[in-house]
Amino acid sequence: MSDVDEITQLVLRERQGRDRGWWDQMKACFHPESEVFLSWIHGTGYEFTEGSRKMSESGFRPVHRASPPVIHQHGDRAVLELPLVIDARIPFNGVETDLSSHTRMVYQVERSDGEWKIKVLNAIYEKDMVSPAMPGTTLVVDLELLKTFRPSYRFVAYHISLGGRKMVDDLYGDDQPEGVKALYDKAFAWMRA
């Protein structure tokens, strides 16, 4: 396989492992010193895998619907962007709903000892939406509370707040383009180093 094929398969295997509950496959995609920064975790790839396993065991199993990735490679390092929609069926104020979050996953991958591994994984949140799963069901939302959350991940943050938790507010999102630019600049500088 070419480098592009190997890198593509690496990130698709990571996503497949996450969605199918194939935890060994997911964990094997990460470098031991990897870093993951998403809505619910800032830790290593191994911690992300374990947290995903626990989340799945609790009954929360989002599905990641990926679009074709774009890869930029320089020698043994590459930056890959994977657009996707994260779909989850969740209770929302007592109503069964479908929550969709449009994101771009930005992977920094590196070849070491002939094998590509994920070193860094960040998400850029674009927008999200929620709708009742059953036609004719009324979804009641606290609009004042909803307005306190950033537009790029408003409903994800609202859902997390309904569970009594607080979502971090410094995630990468298209509503804050300067942060997104800094993320890309840092990733591409790392790739060329």
What is the dotted CATH code of the domain comprising 3-192? 3.10.450.50
Q: Give the model confidence (pLDDT) of 138-193 as tens digits.
A: 988 889 999 999 999 999 888 888 877 777 778 999 999 999 999 999 999 999 99
Query: What are the structure tokens assigned to 98, written together?
Result: 């479908």
The radius of gyration computed from the CA coordinates of the chain, to the nearest angstrom, equals 17
Whether 91 contacts 115, CB under 8 Å:
no
The label of the residue with tokens 């997104």 reads 180
Residue 94 has pLDDT above 90, yes or no: no
Q: Supply angle C-alpha 170, 176, 180, rounded to 5.
A: 85
pLDDT tens digits for 71-90? 999 999 999 999 999 999 98
Residue pair 9/1 in contact by the 8 Å Cβ criterion: yes
Please state the rounded mean pLDDT for residues 116-135: 95
Percentage of the chain lying above the pLDDT 90 cut: 75
pLDDT surpassing 90 at residue 118: yes
pLDDT digits (tens, 9 = 90+) for 37-67: 987 788 899 999 999 999 889 888 889 999 9
Evaluate the CA torsion angle 146, 180, 124, 169 in order and state its sign.
Answer: negative
Mean pLDDT of 116-124: 97
Would you state the pLDDT for residue 170?
85
Which of 139, 137, 167, 136 shows the shortest CA–CA distance to 152? 167
**Continuous segment of H or E residues that includes residue 73:** strand 70-74
pTM: 0.91
Residue 173: its pLDDT value, please? 96
